[in-house]
Structure 1
C-alpha cells in the first residue's frame, strides 16, 4: 500500500470509527477554570499545573524570549509589542512599531523573532496599508529593528510581499541553524477568490520564503536559478501557515497549515517542493463541497499529520525540556477552534514512535474554552502558550508536583 492510499484509508477509518486510531478518549465535560489562577490538569501521561504568567494581553499572536529574561509578545489588533518582565506585564508597550493595518478581521501585527547572534535585533511581520492601482489595499511586510531600552531604533522594512492581502494572510518567522530567516505568508483563500495565489509564480502569498537576515535572497534558494517562482520562495502550495519549528532529532522543518473545513495539516518542508493547495486537499470548502476531486497527486507532497475535523492549527513546538520527561519529542500545536465551533480551542499533543509515525494525539486545556495561538518552549524548559482573547494571557505549563 502506498503512502497516499494509506493516508486516505486512515482518514476514513478515523471518521467512521470515532477517531480510535488518532485520538485518546476524552470527556465532553470539563470543570470550569479561569486564566487568572493556576489550575491542575490530569493528562494521559502527566499531571500538569497551568500557571498564568501575565494576563491582560489583547489578542496576543506570538512570543520571543530574550536572554535577560524578558518575554516579547505581539498583540495582533492593537499593533503593540508588549514586554513581560519578572513575571509582570509592563504597562508601557515598546515604542517605534510601524503603523499596522488591522481594520479587517485577523490582520495586524503577527510574528516576532530575535536574531540568534544578537537578541537586541528583532524581526516582526505585519499587515501594511498600501495603494495599488490607485486603490487602498494591504500586503504583508517584514521589519528589522534594534531594541534600545523600551524603544525600537534603526527600524527598517527589509521585505514586502508581492500580492494583495484580501484573505487572512497569517505570517510566521523562524531562524534556521545557519541564520537564514524562514517567513510564511498565507492568505491563499478560495472563498476570497485568491486560492490560486498558492500556485501563482508572481506572488508571495501561499508560499514559504527563505531570506538572509537583511531581507535579501540567499543564492542557494531553490528557484533562484530556474526563475520558476519568485527568488525568495522556498516551497509552494500552502494555504495559511502559522506554526514553524525544527524537529529536535531529524532537524527537519515542520509547518502547520490551516484548511477550511477539515484537512488541516502538519508538513515536513523540503526546498522547491509543492504542497498542493488548492489543487489537492483533504479539506472541504466552508459551503460543504470538496476543495479538490482527489486529495493527492504524484507531483505534490503529502502531509505528515491531518486533522479532521479542523482544529485551526496555530503555533508549533517540539518539546525537548526535562520538566515533563514523558512529553519529550512530542509535537505541540495550538488550536484556535475545532470543527468551526467557537470556544473549542485547545493545545494539541501529538506523539510519534521511534520511526517517526504518529501513534497518539491528545487535546489539552479544552476547559479554557479559548483560542490558543503562540506555542513555545522557553529557555527554562517549560512550555508556554498564548490565549488569543480580548483579555488574553501567557500561560506556563509545569509539572503538578
Structure 2
C-alpha cells in the first residue's frame, strides 16, 4: 500500500524537495494587531499601508504601525460568509479595492472592483470599474485578488461562487475566471476573447475554482495565480490568456466527504497546474521575493496557508517548483490571508482573525 501511495504521489505536478530556512535566521514582528479579519494589504509610495477588514473597513497604517480610524466613503458592501471588503491595491495615485457588492435581489451579490482618490480620511470620486456577472445567491468563492501588470492592465481573480461551478467552463459569465481590464475599466483590445461570439470580452482565462492569490513575475511580467481545490488539489498556475484551467472537469481534489469530481486529473486542451497540494493547504495571498534582506530567498514564491497557519516558500527553476518549505508554524498561530513584499525588502503578512495582525518578517539580529 505504501509503495502505491508514493508511486501516485510522484505523479503530482511540481512535486518538490523539502527545503529549510534555519529558524534562527528569521524574526517575526507584530506591527499591528486588533484588526477585524483583515484581508488585503497594499503599500503606498510614502511607505504607509492600506489594509482592508472583511467586515467593511479600510484603514491606513503609518510606518510606526499606528492604525487610523476607518476611512470614509466606501460603497455598500455585502458582509456575509466569505464576502465583505477584500483586496486592495495602489496604482497611479488611486486606491483600487475589491468587495462583495449586493445585488438587486435579496441575498444576491458578486465581486466588484472600485477605484477612488484618498483625501485625508475619505475616499473621493469613487467609481465602480468592474462588476462580476451575473449576481448570484452565494456567500462563498469571491476570489478577488488584484494584480497590476507592467503594461498597466489590471488582473482580477473571480471565484465560481461554489454552487455555480459548471459556469467556470462557460464564457458567457464571470464565474471561475480571471478578467483583464484597463485601469478605467475598459477592455484591452488584445484580450483573448474580444470579438468572440458568446464570450465576455473581459475574460483572460477560465476553468478556475476560487483564486485568492495573484502576483506578477518580476522578470517575465507573467501572471501567476493559485486557487483552492475542493478536498485536496490546491493549485499554482502560470495564468496565460485564453487558457482553460480545467475546473470542474479536471482536478486533483475530490468532493467534500469523498467522491470523484469530473473526468480525472488531465485532459487535452486544458492547462495543467505547475504545483499541487494534496492534502490542501488552503492558500491565500502570494508574492515573489525580490528584496535584499533575504538574498537566499530572491526569486522564491511565498504563499500563505489558511488551513495550517503557515508561510509556504516555493523555490523555482524557471516555472518548475523544485523546493518547498513550510515556515512559521508555531510563531504565528493565526491563518495567513495575505503576503506582500514591502518596499523596504521585508515580507509582510496579514492574519485572518478577529484579532488580526500585520506581521513583518525580517532577518534575526539585524543591526
Does TM-score exceed 0.5, indicating one fold?
Answer: yes
SS of residue paired to 1:285: coil
Equivalent position of 1:63 in the other structure: 41
Q: In 2, Cα distance between the equivalents of 1:109 and 1:276? A: 28
SS of residue paired to 1:131: coil
Q: Give the Å deviation of 1:254.
A: 0.4
1:283-362 to structure 2, matched below 5 A, reads 283-337=253-307, 344-353=308-317, 355-362=318-325
Which ranges of structure 2 fall in alignment gaps of 5 or more residues? none
Is the 2:153–2:180 Cα contact (8 Å) retained in structure 1? yes
Q: In 2, Cα distance between the equivalents of 1:350 and 1:137? A: 38
Equivalent position of 1:380 in the other structure: 344
Q: In 2, Cα distance between the equivalents of 1:360 and 1:207? A: 29
* 2:14 paired with 1:12: no
Figure out how many residues of one structure are paired with residues of the other and give that number.
Answer: 357
Q: In 1, Cα distance between the equivalents of 2:344 and 2:10? A: 37
Match of 1:185 among 146, 158, 174: 158
After superposition, the C-alpha distances for 1:274-309 in whole angstroms (9 at most, x for unaligned) are: 000001111111121122231111110000011111
Equivalent position of 2:90 in the other structure: 114
Match of 1:100 among 77, 82, 93: 77
Q: Give the Å deviation of 1:252.
A: 2.0
Equivalent position of 1:22 in the other structure: 16
SS of residue paired to 1:88: coil
* 2:146 paired with 1:173: yes
Mean alpha-carbon deviation: is it higher for 226-235 or for 85-94?
85-94
Q: In 2, Cα distance between the equivalents of 1:169 and 1:288? A: 24
Is the 1:73–1:83 Cα contact (8 Å) retained in structure 2? yes
Q: In 1, Cα distance between the equivalents of 2:363 and 2:324? A: 19
Equivalent position of 2:217 in the other structure: 247
Distance of aligned partners of 1:110 and 1:196 in 2 relative to their CA distance in 1, 3 Å threshold: same
SS of residue paired to 1:284: coil
TM-score by length of 2: 0.92
Q: In 2, Cα distance between the equivalents of 1:46 and 1:318? A: 22
SS of residue paired to 2:103: strand
Equivalent position of 2:329 in the other structure: 366
Q: Give the Å deviation of 1:239.
A: 0.4
Q: Give the Å deviation of 1:45.
A: 8.3
Q: Give the Å deviation of 1:260.
A: 1.2
Match of 1:82 among 59, 65, 72: 59
Match of 1:263 among 217, 230, 233: 233
SS of residue paired to 2:104: strand
Q: In 1, Cα distance between the equivalents of 2:107 and 2:302? A: 38
1:125-274 to structure 2, matched below 5 A, reads 125-132=98-105, 135-165=106-136, 166=138, 167-189=140-162, 192=163, 194-274=164-244
TM-score by length of 1: 0.85
